[in-house]
Amino acid sequence: MVGRDLTAEASECLTLFAPQTEQALVDPKRAAERTMEMHQIRYFLAVSETLNLTRAAERCNVAQPSLTRAIKALELELGGELLRRERALSHLTELGQRVLPMLRQSYETALSAKMVATSIKKGETAPLSLALSQTVALELFAPMLRELSRLFPGLQLKVYRGSSSEVAEYLKLGTAELAIAGALDDTWSRVDAFPLFEEPLDLVVGRTHRLATKSLAEFKDLASETVLVNGGCEMDAAIKARLSANGIFATGAHQVATREDLLALLKANLGVAIIPVGALEAMSYCRIPLRDLDLVRKVSVYAVAGRQRAMACATLLNMLRAADWDFETAERRRSTQ
C-alpha cells in the first residue's frame, strides 16, 4: 500500500481525459471547457521520445496531420508551446520539459487503472478490504482467508485497524467492505451486524508472574499490581467499572493503544491485564479466571445493508457466519462448568 490510492489517481485521470467534442477543439470561445484526451498525451509522449513528428506518428499508427492537430490542441489547453518544430527534429520547450514527467505519470496511472478494471471484470483480481478492531486477533480468521485465497487466486487483501468508532467510519465511507469488532460505538441504521462468537475475559499475566500459579484469582489479589489498560479495547469502560466496583482503581495503570503493546508488557511482567482471551497464545501467558468478573465480548462481523458486495466479500461473510471457532468461546466455557 505505497503511495497514493490508485482509485483516487484514476478518478483524477478519468476527469483529465474526459472525451471532448470536435466543436470544442476548433472553437476558441470554448477553450476553457476543453479537457485533455488520452491520445493527445500519448502522441506528445511519443514525440518527446522520438523528437520527430513523422516517426512519432508511425509509432502511434496515426497520420502525421492528426498527430500534429492533437499536439496543437494540447498546447492550447496548457497555454503554451510544448514543441519547437524544425525540419528534421523537434525539441521540447521549457514548458514541454516541465510538464513531461507529470503527463507521463498521469498517462501511466490511467493505463494502470484501465488494467485493474479489466482484471476485475475478468475475475483475475478480487480486491477485498477489511476493518478490524485493534484488539481482535487476525489469526482467528486465517483459516477462512486461506480458503478464500484458494477460491480467488487473484485475491488482493487490504486490512485496516482502528478503534470501534474508526471501524464504523471505515464502513460508512466504503473504505472497508466488512468489519470485525466488538460492539460498535456508532449505531448507524444501515449497519448489519452478524454475531460470530462471545469471547470470555480473564485476568492475564506473564508466565513468571507471582500470580501465574493461581487457578482462580480474586480482585483483592490485584491491589498491589499495576494494571495494563488498552484504551482501544471496546470493553475498556466495562473493565474499569468492574475494577472500581471491587475497590481496584487504575490510577497507576500503564496505558497502551494496541493489543500487541499490551501483550509485550505482560510478557515482560510489567503489569497484569483483564482482556478477551479467545485466541491468546498459551505458551507465553497465563490465563486466570477472576472471581465475579463475568465479562464477555460479543464479536460480530459488520456490513452495510443495501450496499452491493463483491463475490470475495460475500464469500468471506458466509464463511465467517458458518465458522466453528476452535478456541474457548464463552459458550464453550459455560458448557464445561
Residues whose CB falls within 8 Å of the CB of residue 208, separated by 6 or more in sequence, listed in order:
269
Specify the 3-state DSSP secondary structure of 300. strand
Domains of the chain with CATH codes:
6-121 (1.10.10.10), 126-196+298-336 (3.40.190.10), 199-295 (3.40.190.10)
The structure's pTM equals 0.61
Cell of 71: 499536439
Spell out the per-residue pLDDT of the chain, length 337, in tens.
Answer: 333 343 344 444 434 434 343 344 444 444 445 578 889 999 999 898 888 888 889 989 999 999 999 999 999 999 999 988 776 677 899 999 999 989 988 887 887 777 667 666 666 678 899 999 988 888 889 999 999 998 888 899 999 998 888 999 999 999 999 999 998 876 678 888 999 998 889 999 999 999 999 999 999 999 888 999 888 888 888 888 999 898 887 666 888 888 888 889 998 999 999 988 775 766 678 999 999 888 999 999 999 988 888 888 999 999 999 888 866 654 555 555 5
Q: Give one word for 8, left, alpha or beta, with left for phi > 0 and alpha for psi -120 to 50.
A: alpha
Phi, psi of 204, rounded to the nearest 5 degrees: -125, 135
Would you give the distance in Å from CA 29 to the centre of its chain? 45
Cell of 129: 478490504
Give the separation between CA 108 and CA 245, rounded to whole angstroms: 62
Q: Give one word for 326, left, alpha or beta, with left for phi > 0 and alpha for psi -120 to 50.
A: alpha
